[in-house]
Amino acid sequence: STPPAAGPGRSDVMANLFQWNWTSVATECTDVLGPAGYAGVQVSQPADSLKRTELGNGSDTVLHPWWEIYQPVSYDLAGRMGTEAEFRAMVKTCRQAGVKVYVDAVVNHMTGQGAISYGGRKYSHFEYPGLYDAADFHQKGTDCPSTTGGIDDFNNLQQVRKCELVGLADLRTDRPKVQNELAGYLNKLIGWGVSGFRVDAAKHVGQADMIALQKKLRNTVDGSRPYVALEIFGGGPGYLSPQAFTSAGSAVLGLDGDIQLKNAFKSYPVDAPGSLATLQGFGEGSGLTPSEKTLSFVQNHDTERNGDSLNYKDGATNVLAQQFLLAYGYGTPQVYSSFAWDATDASPPSDQDGYITDTDCASKEWVCVHSDPAVTGMVSFHNHVGKAPVKNWWDDGGNLIAFSRGNAGWVALNNDKVDKTATFSTGLPAGTYCNVTTGVAKKGKCSGPTVTVGANGKAKVTVKGKSAVAFTKADRV
């Protein structure tokens, strides 16, 4: 059957396919993301970047760490994930599958090391032939007040904006020439059908320059303004806080939210009571940015490594957290899927030249959380309940919670290891419903276990350890 067009009819759920190559993203849009009801996909930084030719000092053992892509060299689509032709074909294929494409855009800086790019361009720290030269970068002393030229103090406004983030040459984003180069790059992507951006290091660009840049962006091919989500990690004072950036873009990244989710899902040592019950207040009520201004997630490529969030190594707990976020409806929810790693610097699966090889979800090298049926069932749930408010909250004070979304759907989540049984008010009419976390309702039949709701709207349900039960009105069988 033909999936609904991009956007309307499929809500807002995004998959973040971090460092998937373009041909793999395209295939996934057609085979999985579109049919599962994902409305969008975030893809990795696509511009030409640093290609390391030798190892650094000491403990440096990975020639092509994942972070090479965060050192752009030019705005040619010539990076580790594929060619311009492959990128454009991917955008077209995804849109045909009903999935809009959002691009990770690095606008704050260029490189901090190396001399040659994946696209074969030669460069040095402040010289990018045909693009930027020293006059386009903030300089130590004149612009940047730190003695090292780097950001030594992340609470210092001048340093955060005008010094070098981990030694990366810092663009003068207030300069018309720089803004025009950046806008030219982003508008090129929009012209190919891209719907928006995740802006890397937006805190280091600052509000004024972010707003000026967005004014230079054209409308998307759908006629809307591009969706621009700003990366602003929490903890900064005043103008450096995520709250201070909500009007400088479409949204900010939910980087405080993923910390709260980790603490709710993982604070508990083995066999001790946990705290999913705390999540009754999750969202603006727990100090986070407003829902409509937040791109929310359980983790991203930084937090899965730095300990701020859960990650795929948390297994069933991670899946349960994804299910909670999709069920609860805070922010524009995003599901992260990427490659398995041991060392935090590890390269994604690549050929000997650093080009990322095709994703294989069946291999141990990749972890495809977004296509786990326990997750896709909740994508469907999320799309069906829409904006209906959280009602009928129930918890046992510990690790078993349940709630409805208005009268449209109901969910229970058990973060304990043992099965739990209780009688819940579901807010739904009497009937037999298909549990979407373990089955699919098709032609009045459920491919897995069902739940019976009585005339009073109540249901006695056993929720297995580390799992969820969920259904919507549309899942009646």
Binding to ligand LM2 by CB under 6 A, coded x per residue (else -) over 88-127, reads: ------------------x-----xx--------------
Measured from the CB atom, the residue of 178 and 194 that comes closer to Ca ion is: 178
Nearest of 128, 113, 104, 115 to residue 46 by alpha carbon: 104
- The tally of CA atoms less than 13 A away on the side-chain side of residue 446 is 21
For the bound state, the minimum distance from the C-beta of residue 75 to ligand LM2, rounded and expressed in Å, comes to: 15
Cβ atoms < 10 Å from Cβ of 450: 18
151 binds, among Ca ion, ligand LM2, none (CB under 5 to 8 A by kind): none
Q: Are 200 and 173 in contact (CB under 8 A)?
A: no
Which listed option, Ca ion, ligand LM2, none, makes contact with residue 355 (CB within 5 to 8 Å by class)? none
Which of 70/227 has CB closer to ligand LM2?
A: 70
401 forms beta bridges with 395, 413
Is residue 373 part of the contact set for ligand LM2 (CB under 6 A)? no
Q: Judge whether 60 counts as a catalytic residue.
A: no
Question: In this structure, what token pair is assigned to residue 154?
Answer: 């992340």
Per-position x/- string for 163-182, each x denoting binding to Ca ion as judged by CB under 5 A, each - no binding: -------x------------
Q: From Ca ion, ligand LM2, none, which one binds at residue 166 (CB under 5 to 8 Å depending on kind)?
A: ligand LM2
The least distance separating ligand LM2 from the CB of residue 469, rounded to whole angstroms, comes to 35
Among candidate residues 373, 380, 381, 198, the one with its CA nearest the CA of residue 300? 198
First and final C-alpha spacing in the chain: 21
Identify the CA nearest to 24 among candidates 38, 36, 41.
41
Cβ neighbours around 115 below 10 Å, total? 15
| Distances in whole angstroms, Cα of residue 245 to Cα of each of 107, 195, 208, 210 | 16, 20, 10, 9
Q: What is the DSSP letter of 1?
A: -
8 A C-beta contact, residue 284 and residue 291: yes
CB 246 within 8 A of CB 228: no
Compose the 182-201 pattern: x for residues touching ligand LM2 by CB under 6 A, - for all others: ------------------xx
Catalytic residue of the set 68, 181, 231, 258: 231
Nearest-angstrom CA–CA distance, 382 and 276: 19
Distance between CA atoms of 56 and 52, rounded to whole angstroms?
A: 9
Contact set for ligand LM2, span 422-441 (CB under 6 A): none
Nearest residue to Ca ion, using CB? 204
- Is residue 104 within 8 Å of residue 230, measured between CB atoms? no
Residue 170's binding partner among Ca ion, ligand LM2, none (Cβ under 5 to 8 angstroms by kind) is Ca ion
From the list 28, 200, 416, 475, the catalytic residue is 200
Burial class (CB in 10 A: 0-12, 13-18, 19+), 331: buried
CB of 79 to ligand LM2, least distance (A): 13
Burial zone of 434 (CB within 10 Å; 0-12 exposed, 13-18 middle, 19+ buried):
buried
Closer to ligand LM2 by CB, 301 or 405: give it: 301
Give the HSE-up count for residue 451: Cα atoms under 13 Å, Cβ half-sphere: 35
Which residue in 121, 204, 301, 384 binds Ca ion (CB under 5 A)? 204
Binders of ligand LM2 among residues 143 to 172 (CB under 6 A) are 165-168
Which CB, 201 or 321, lies closer to Ca ion?
201
Q: Which does 414 bind (CB under 5 to 8 A by kind): Ca ion, ligand LM2, none?
A: none
Taking the complex as a whole, how short is the minimal distance between the CB of residue 467 and ligand LM2, in angstroms?
Answer: 32
**Least distance (Å) from Ca ion to the CB of residue 108?**
5
State in angstroms the smallest separation of the CB of 302 from ligand LM2: 5
Rounded distance between C-alpha atoms, residue 404 and residue 382, angstroms: 12
- Total site size for Ca ion, rule CB under 5 A: 3
Specify whether the CB–CB gap between 360 and 444 falls below 8 A: no
Which of 84, 302, 365, 396 touches ligand LM2 (CB under 6 A)? 302
Complex with Ca ion: residue 185 or 381, whichever CB lies closer: 185
- Binding residue for ligand LM2, selected from 38, 70, 324, 403, defined by CB under 6 A: 70
Q: How far apart are CA 19 and CA 140, in angstroms?
A: 33
In angstroms, rounded to a whole number, what is the distance separating the alpha carbons of residues 173 and 157? 15
Query: Which of the ranges 93-101, 183-191, 203-211, 336-344 carries the binding residues for Ca ion, by CB under 5 A?
Result: 203-211
Kindly state the smallest distance separating residue 400's Cβ from ligand LM2, in Å. Answer: 35
Told to judge if 200 belongs to the known catalytic residues of this protein, a careful annotator would answer yes
Return d(Cα 282, Cα 371) in angstroms, integer.
25
CB of 204 to ligand LM2, least distance (A): 7
Site residues (vs Ca ion, CB under 5 A): 108, 170, 204
Site residues (vs ligand LM2, CB under 6 A): 67, 70-71, 106, 112-113, 165-168, 200-201, 231, 302
Active site residues: 200, 231
